[in-house]
Chain A
Amino acid sequence: MTNSFAEFAKAKMIFVIGSNMTEAHPVAASFVKQAVLAGAPLFVADPRRTALADMAEQHIPIRVGSDVAFLNGLMSVLITEDLYDKAYVESRCNGFEELRTKVLEYPPERAAEISGVSAETIRTVARRLASVKPVMLMYTLGITEHTCGVNNVLSCANLQMLLGNVGFECGGVNPLRGQNNVQGACDMGALPNVFPGYQRVDNAEARAKFEKAWGVTSLPDKPGIMIPQMLEGLASGKIKAFYIFGENLANTEPDIRHVEHCLESAEFIVCHDIFPTETTRFAHVIFPAAAWSENDGTFTNSERRISRVRTASPPPGEAKPNWWIFREIARRMGHMWPSKSAREIWDNEVSVLAPSMAGVKYNRIRGNGLQWPVPHEEHPGTPTLHKHRFTSGLGKLVPVEWTPPAEVPDSKYPLVLSTGRRLYHYHTRTQTGRAAGLNDLLSEETADISPLDAAELGIGHGEMIRVASRRGEVKVKANVSDRIPKGVVWMAFHFREACANWLTNPVFDPVSQTAEYKACAVRIEKT
């Protein structure tokens, strides 16, 4: 996020797109709702009428996968009606002419045709967004989990820059991250193209720095591959050994049947986990790991805040911290790593090697932690990014074209399946399924469908139905809900048997390799 959670409650106007915050990020949502109670108008763009939409000045029910067209439509109004922030765009951004040309190809009438909301709504929303400054924009996976995910993100950024809303308190572009430490895993360089602190592996200087620090030579200079390519590599035989640390890929990746085929093809799989999972079934060696409250360490949240994690109890049996396991493998391959605790790893390695975290030391993060960039030890941290100037100089406006989802409904599969998370469980329930009480509140998956589709197909609320896609099918209870628009089926991936990922489409954004979990074609029928 460019900004911080504390700013949500103080925001003057809020635009939420593709985020079911009350279920996936309930505490973040509480700040948004407080802002609304304090008078901030809220706009929610989402195919579903989410709980947050109930509190909105306007819910904008765009069609699944039409985000770029809708956002381009808003921007075309801002430009044609002269409502954008000219001074900001001129002094702080580049690429305006190219953006202008592109978005003018999306007048409200065309954007309306693609997005399913009226041209009048698009005009009204654009005018309202331009009427207050700054507007705070939040998005979540409704934006990213598309084959055009990167373009969706760029469009959000384009809109906020055009409105002159980036670089201010209570403004900015704010993706809410799904996992407690997904930000941190990125920051630490668990990505194929960067070392810790986003220093590129194809930069010779960066490699030389890490070679020196790690006491090694010839670090690989070519960016590696991402998860979908790894799975394909297993199937094709290119990847022989696969190391899975704390992920349940057999449930979380699209098209479970195919994913399991890939995992089966591996010559050697190592897993670290705290429980046996659908994925550890494919392992050749499983290491028992210390869980959350059995570790000392740090997490980094969505607002780039590095906070402490502390040990409450020892791990069971012989389970060990993950950092220790990696260190032991390195040792057995001839590498002696000096750091003997999470604190030593952070203080002596991470903060020394990653300039944006240079000022973060364990003795500085006892209380509320610090938000990177923290370039030196006297620096107080950075709650708001891009103040006065963009980190990279000028804000880049990037024209983007709308593209439909890879698989759209047809006569055989006439509905769109969109997926996500529900309040009472977390991902594949490895943890929440074993916490007393949560299963009582949500004990099974449902397929959420609109009353209109239900009536057309004669499906009653709570009746078992079959949901089928080109990848597979599941039997699941129908949840007939007026929060779902006609033509959409909505499911989560918390329960194995009726997991949405038996159905989802393994197609990916060409840049980010994010799967299109939010859109594939399905058919539903009574069982």
Chain B
Amino acid sequence: MSGATFTLNGRSVPFKLGQSILDAARDNGVHIPTLCYLKGLAPSGACRICLVEVKGARSLMAACSTPVAPEMDVATETPRVHEARRLNTELLLAAGRHDCLLCEANGDCGLQELAYRYKVDGSSFPKRDDFHPVEDINPFIVRDFSRCILCGRCVQACNQLVVNRAISHGYRGKGSKIVTGGDTPYHQSDCVFCGQCLEVCPTGALTEKKLRGQGRPWETKRIRTTCPYCGVGCQMWLYVKDNRIVKVTAVEGAAPNDGRLCVKGRFGYDFIYSEERLKTPLIRENGHFREASWDEALNLVASKFGEVIEKHGPDAIAGVSCARSINEDSYQMQKLFRAVFKTNNIDHCART
């Protein structure tokens, strides 16, 4: 049914049948805040931040899990809506230990944003201090349950997006916790450290261990690149501070990975800063390598290849290019072999 409309903040706007109020509003340029919604996955309706007023409805409705109906009249920014969002934000703040000063998510936190927007600090309610202990034992992801708002995004991403099915909601009531099977630490569970949970966490409940103390969100610049590992070619953002990558995330909605990464792509970047990197040309002499200048090493290679070609012909040279490096490098190498050395003895690990 095309041409269906509903009323959004007093304007008549189009929507697609089956669309939620939240999605339809976004399509029409109206942003409704939420902490639990993940595009493309079944809505959980857990955070109660996206509440909106629907004319004729008994109570406020969660925009993420309410389908639009034709002629529905929706208001997203009314005093009643604001009051409810304020109260719910206040409750979420009071239920955790949200000390932004020490939190890695400071400046990149959905809850902090809401607190700022609705001017609340959680002080209207008694504070809790009986939290599940922080999990800091696995190599990559710090799980601070005192900052977890139980929005369930990580559970959804793990089960519906990357389908690793390593975590779910555990326990009940005030003891509620996001758990692995048997409530073991990540590294002793089915978790495969793709870090999708980290990617979707709206607060500082899940943060990167490698990032700790390395930089605040506003101190880093973001560079889009392609993952250096397998042939999927995932698109990623590198967060760079002072010429150093401090964090990697997936590019949301980009082909081919559609916002996902694996453990190697997300956490396997810091080899480039290893002290063992080769830093100068090396020439072997009497069984040992010694440092050399570029000129000396390049001249030696050019003259040695020239010598071999003269003595034994071009086909006495063979070369293997690199399937890990950029296209332009392989192009140059085959050009060197064909145009300069005059041999087609150029290959790479094409088959493995």
Contacts and interface: CB of A to CB of B under 8 A. Distances in A.
Given A245-B321, A293-B225, A312 B279 contact: no
Contacts of B302: 329, 332-333
B116 interface: no
B328 A178 contact: no
A37 B263 contact: no
Interface in B319-344: 319-340, 342-344
Interface of B: 139-140, 160-164, 187, 192-194, 209-210, 223-235, 238, 240, 243-245, 254-258, 260-265, 267-272, 274, 276-284, 289, 292, 294, 297-306, 308, 311-312, 314-340, 342-352
Interface in A3-57: 4-6, 22, 24-28, 30-31, 33-34, 36-37, 55
Contact of B160 (A31, A37, A328, A513): A37
Given A230-B318, A305-B233, A284 B284 contact: yes
A455 interface: no
Interface in A288-303: 288-289, 291-295, 297-303
5 contacts: A6-B256, A190-B321, A191-B346, A285-B301, A307-B233
Contacts of A517: 352
Contact of B235 (A184, A286, A312, A368): A368
B234 A288 contact: no
A284 B347 CA distance: 20
Nearest to A292: B228
B279 A201 contact: no
Q: Which 7 A-B pairs have the closest CB atoms?
A: A317-B279, A301-B233, A297-B326, A246-B322, A177-B231, A224-B344, A437-B139
A311 B245 CA distance: 11
Contacts of B297: 285, 287
Given A185-B327, A319-B277, 14 more contacts: A191-B350, A192-B345, A240-B317, A242-B319, A242-B320, A246-B324, A275-B277, A297-B327, A307-B235, A312-B243, A322-B332, A368-B235, A424-B193, A431-B268
Interface stretch (A70-78, A214-222, A482-490): A214-222
Contact of A192 (B160, B278, B301, B346): B346
B316 A238 contact: yes
Contacts of B225: 293, 308-310, 312
A476 interface: no
B244 to A, nearest CB: 6
Contacts of B280: 288, 317-318
Given A240-B316, A332-B298, A307 B344 contact: no
Contacts of B263: 26, 423-424, 438, 441
A317 B274 CA distance: 12
B236 to A, nearest CB: 10
Given A180-B230, A293-B272, A298-B327, A241 B352 contact: no
Interface in A259-281: 267-268, 270, 272-276
Contacts of B350: 182, 185-186, 190-191
Contacts of B255: 4-6, 305, 368-369
A306 B233 CA distance: 9
A431 B320 contact: no
Given A27-B261, A299-B233, A230 B278 contact: no
Contacts of B322: 181, 185, 245-247, 272, 322
Contacts of B298: 325, 328-329, 332
Given A242-B319, A423-B263, A214 B335 contact: yes
Given A191-B348, A243-B319, A330-B340, A434 B274 contact: yes
Contacts of A317: 277-280
A223 interface: yes
Interface in A404-463: 423-424, 426, 430-438, 440-441
A436 B270 contact: yes
